[in-house]
């Protein structure tokens, strides 16, 4: 049975990713990947810093929960074949269809375009255009590891153990999250934080996929929300105005407490207020993966064009990039999914959609 609230959390989080990336492109904190010289609103840097610690952890938790639900209805072989089409193909072959745009603009913004031989500009742009597809690549790797874990744990003992946790134990998992945040972090490519994201994925799969755990979170959602708000306030005082992608921030006990309680609060509250659907939410559920795959080159192209050829006030740059980026992303998605072969390479869609 579909969990409607989880679909709504998923597409809502994808739209939050789009919003965050607008803030990121115009960041004034010197975080790599932003548009050089872009006009900035410092308050929005603070908002981006509030979002950054938890939104991708939430994505991996949801992915882990979804993997559990998926494996209840299909074999492990089917699961991996589906994940290969949906995750691996778009994040490898799809780079050469759409995401070379991201790579090209990043190279241009970095001032390195003139140093690349013309014949190599396209392949280098494609290979460096991963952008947010790091999530898709990482999720495929985690799916492979999950199947191996299932083969080693044929009696499903880990999942059974995970079903015994109440809210206090769920909250205390932030210690495990904090410990995982200390390990398997890639240098330079700071988005590849394999430790915390793999543990988040496993907790989603083995703990938060239990109806008992979810019911407990729903019952306690208001206290959890208050605790998350308090954590956000302390976090803002401690790290506001600083590089929120730095290890000193991401690996601190405070940050990991704040992010984990926020994830639990969202999962609890969403069951109470978002467990309903209509034509709009169904459309957003269907489009959310495509929006995630396609949004970044569109946002980057709009933001870069505004900064290069416009002389608008900062609020207009943010607003136009967000609105035009969302509209352009949905238009691109609607076009791509209708083109045979291209829809498979970019979105992993085999049949006509």
Per-residue pLDDT tens for 145-189? 999 999 999 888 888 888 889 999 999 999 999 999 999 887 767
Do 19 and 293 meet the contact criterion of CB atoms below 8 Å apart? no
- Distance CA(68)–CA(77), nearest Å, equals 14
Q: What is the pLDDT of residues 178-198, one digit of tens each?
A: 999 999 887 767 778 999 999
Residue 118 burial (CB count, 10 A): 7
The pLDDT value given to residue 319:
97
Please tell me the distance from the alpha carbon of residue 77 to that of residue 238, in angstroms, as a whole number: 47
Is residue 82 within 8 A of residue 350, CB to CB? The reply is no
pLDDT 10s digits, 20-50: 999 999 999 989 889 999 999 999 999 999 9
pLDDT band at residue 352 using 50, 70 and 90 as cut-offs = low
Q: What is the 3-state secondary structure (H, E, C) of the chain?
A: CCCHHHHHHHHHHHHHHHHHHHHHHCCCCCCCCCCCCCCCCHHHHHHHHHHHHHHHHHHHHHHHHHHHHHHCCCCHHHHHHHHHHHHHCCCCHHHHCCCHHHHHHHHHHCCCHHHCCHHHHHHHHHHCCCHHHHHHHHHHHHHHHHHHHHHHCCCCHHHHHHCCCCHHHHHHCHHHHHHHCCCCECCCCCCCEHHHHHHHHHHHHHCCCCHHHHHHHHHCHHHHHHHHHHHHHHHHHHHCCCCCCCHHHHCCHHHHHHHHHHHHHHHHHHHHHCCCCCHHHHHHHHHHHHHHHHHHHHHHHHHHHHHHHCCCCHHHHHHHHHHHHHHHHHHHHHHHCCCCCHHHHHHCCCCCC
pTM to 2 decimal places: 0.95
CA–CA dist 33, 299 (Å, integer): 13
Token pair in block for residue 283? 């459309």
Calpha distance 232→99 (Å, rounded)? 34
Torsion of CA 161, 166, 170, 176, to 10 degrees: -40
Instruction: Say if residue 353's pLDDT is above 60.
Output: no
Q: What is the pLDDT of residues 275-322, one digit of tens each?
A: 999 999 999 999 999 999 999 999 999 999 999 998 899 999 999 999
CA atoms 108, 113, 119, 124: torsion sign: negative
On average, the pLDDT of the chain sits at 94
């Amino acid at each position: 049975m579909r969990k409607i609230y989880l679909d709504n959390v998923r597409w809502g989080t994808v739209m939050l990713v789009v919003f965050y990336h607008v803030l990121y492109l115009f960041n004034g904190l010197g975080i790599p990947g932003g548009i050089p010289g872009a006009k900035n609103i410092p308050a929005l840097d603070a908002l981006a810093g509030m979002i950054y610690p938890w939104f991708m952890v939430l994505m991996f938790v949801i992915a882990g929960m979804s993997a559990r639900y998926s494996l209840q209805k299909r074999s492990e072989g089917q699961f991996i074949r589906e994940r290969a089409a949906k995750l691996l193909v778009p994040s490898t072959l799809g780079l050469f269809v759409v995401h070379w745009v991201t790579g090209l603009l990043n190279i241009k913004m970095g001032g390195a375009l003139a140093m690349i031989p013309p014949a190599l500009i396209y392949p280098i742009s494609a290979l460096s255009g991963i952008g947010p597809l790091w999530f898709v690549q990482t999720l495929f790797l985690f799916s492979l590891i999950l199947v191996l874990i299932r083969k080693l744990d044929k009696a499903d003992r880990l999942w059974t153990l995970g079903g015994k946790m109440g809210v206090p134990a769920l909250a205390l998992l932030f210690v495990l999250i904090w410990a995982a945040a200390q390990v398997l972090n890639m240098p330079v490519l700071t988005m590849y934080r394999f430790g915390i994201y793999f543990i988040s994925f496993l907790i989603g799969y083995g703990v938060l996929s239990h109806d008992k755990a979810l019911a407990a979170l729903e019952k306690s959602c208001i206290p959890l929300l208050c605790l998350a708000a308090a954590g956000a306030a302390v976090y803002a005082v401690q790290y506001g105005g600083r590089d929120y992608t730095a290890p000193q921030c991401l690996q601190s006990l405070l940050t990991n407490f704040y992010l984990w309680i926020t994830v639990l609060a969202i999962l609890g509250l969403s069951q109470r207020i978002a467990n309903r659907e209509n034509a709009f939410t169904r459309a957003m559920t269907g489009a959310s993966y495509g929006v995630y795959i396609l949004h970044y080159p569109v946002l980057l192209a709009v933001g870069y064009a505004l900064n290069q050829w416009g002389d608008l006030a900062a609020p207009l740059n943010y607003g136009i990039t967000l609105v035009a980026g969302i509209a352009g992303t949905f238009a691109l998605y609607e076009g791509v999914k209708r083109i045979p072969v291209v829809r498979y390479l970019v979105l992993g869609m085999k049949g006509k959609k």
